[in-house]
Amino acid sequence: MKILLLSSPVVQLDFDRIARLPNLGLASLAAHVDDLCTVHVADIHGLKDHREYVKKQVQDYDLVGLTAMSFQYQEALALARIAKEAGAQTVFGGYHPTLAAEEIGQSDDSQLIDYIVRGEGEATFRELTESLLAGKELKEVLGLSYHDPGSNRMVHNPARPLLDVSDIRMPNRDARLITRGFLTFDVPIDSVETSRGCTQGCKFCSINLMYGRHFRTFPIERVVEDIRDAEEHGAGSIFFPDDNITLNPKRLERLCQAIIDAGLTHLRYKTQASASGIASSKRLVDKMGEAGFDGVFLGVESINKRNLEFLGKGKMSNDAEIAVQYLHDNNIIVSTGLIGGNPDDDEEDLWENFHLARRLKVDFPIFYISTPYPKTQMRAELEEMGLVTRNDFNKYDGMHANLKTKHLSDEEVQYITWEMNARYYDLDWIRYNKVKKIYPKWFAGEIKRLVPFYAKRKLDLATGRKTPRDFFQEDLESGELCKGVV
């Protein structure tokens, strides 16, 4: 039996220019079946023609696995069709198939999907593989959805309890077919997880729907071993994709010390973190700087107390100023997630996030648009308010407006958010951002690429050939919404 696991080829283009990472989850799945069969992982999101690549590859495989978030789901179906036409069976996993399994099972989509591995996939995927190899029935495989042979309807087995982290194997990076082209700025990158889950109840987040409000940590010794393995496979930078790595700040400090003690400070580390977690300890951030961290995506979400309450974030942004200062003092690049388009937002409320990012001198602010992801508490509340305007999940990526507010249409929310991105990256930003100091080669290349683009837009504006609205439409069509000139 031969298995091919495919990453989603659909990415957010603005992020892909800064960091393109190989899929860690698929490498973890591969590690749990590589003693049973031949398994390969293809990270196809950097290919120019991913469909042609998949057409050639799937001819040699019996089972093709696909993972998808909501905005990636339709393309996953297209790839599943290619696999089915080649005679392979298909298995889906990830957030969207997990949360929408019942709806998928009742739709025509189910004809392209033989199995759905719901939630945390390692044990379920292994048991599915074992059952297929042995010709056993699937009714005992927890966390699995499959077609009942008698009725051909999709059966959803009971959910699988969360795994004991000691049972989770190290990822199999040797299973990857594509090993080049994964960079952050200009450094080869890979991911290493140190924990899974989060105990907080953000209304917009799907994590607690996947794992419940639980926080499980891997032994620090395992994390260090995984870092070494990633480096042996070519990584010069490590991204920690934990759902909330600063939920236990003292543990993160211990991890930093372990990195220092292991002599791994020559690598460059990046992670996502809460503002409150980072602001809770200057000692922690100093230790992060000593360990080699040079980038943190900071969950700030909003400066507006009303919006924080709606998002279920409490007072997390109260610490944003302290957190950014601690990080910048350690020469760590700061990216922030700032969410607009909440129910009571007007234009002034949206611009509050822009002014906060400017005041804090954030290196890469990401002006997200509140997104009603399937099955989340926020979606239920927005639907009850009548504010959800679009159900095309292709656009559910945090960058497109799929709702209106009580004061703004969805198009107005989209345009204002685009305008904030267009205005942020100006000469002031070039002067104060830390990227040019830490990654001068990458920064120079981006300036060389973008200066002609911006110059042409300025000329088009000055001569009246085009308006800001024209640029807005161009960026909507290209899918790159974090650039522009107004």
| Tens of pLDDT, residues 142-154 | 999 999 987 778 9
Under the banding of pLDDT at 50, 70 and 90, the label for residue 313 is: low
Residue pair 28/154 in contact (Cβ under 8 Å)? The answer is: no
- How many Cβ atoms from other residues are within 10 Å of residue 317's Cβ? 27
Q: Where in the chain is the domain with CATH 3.40.50.2300?
A: 2-165
Under the banding of pLDDT at 50, 70 and 90, the label for residue 312 is: low
Fold classification of 182-439 (topology level): TIM Barrel (3.20.20)
**Whole-number pLDDT of residue 378:** 87
Percent pLDDT > 70 in the chain is: 95
d(CA 120, CA 98): 9
Question: What helix, strand, coil percent values describe the chain, rounded to 5?
Answer: 50, 15, 35
Please indicate, yes or no, whether the overall pTM of this predicted structure exceeds 0.95.
no
- Best CA proximity match to 397, nearest among 336, 469, 482, 470: 482
**Whole-number pLDDT of residue 315:** 53
How confident is the prediction for the chain on average, in pLDDT?
Answer: 92
d(CA 260, CA 266): 9
Residue tagged 């503002």 (tokens): 275
Once rounded to an integer, what is the mean pLDDT over residues 183-212?
A: 84
Burial 48-75 (b: 16+ CB within 10 A, else e): eebeebbeebbeebebbbbbbbbbbbeb
Q: Where are the beta strands (DSSP E) in 110-213?
A: 115-117, 144-147, 154-156, 183-184, 187-191, 195-196
CATH code given to domain 2-165: 3.40.50.2300
Does residue 442 surpass a pLDDT of 90?
A: yes
Residue tagged 């989603």 (tokens): 8
d(CA 413, CA 420): 11
Once rounded to an integer, what is the mean pLDDT over residues 457-477?
A: 93
Percent pLDDT > 90 in the chain is: 78
Write down how long the chain is.
486
Q: Where in the chain is the domain with CATH 3.20.20.70?
A: 182-439
Q: What angle do CA 460, 450, 363 make, to 5 degrees?
A: 120
Once rounded to an integer, what is the mean pLDDT over residues 338-343?
A: 90
Once rounded to an integer, what is the mean pLDDT over residues 65-79?
A: 96
Does residue 234 surpass a pLDDT of 60?
A: yes
Burial of residue 166 (CB within 10 Å: 0-12, 13-18, 19+) is: exposed
Under the banding of pLDDT at 50, 70 and 90, the label for residue 485 is: low
d(CA 203, CA 312): 5
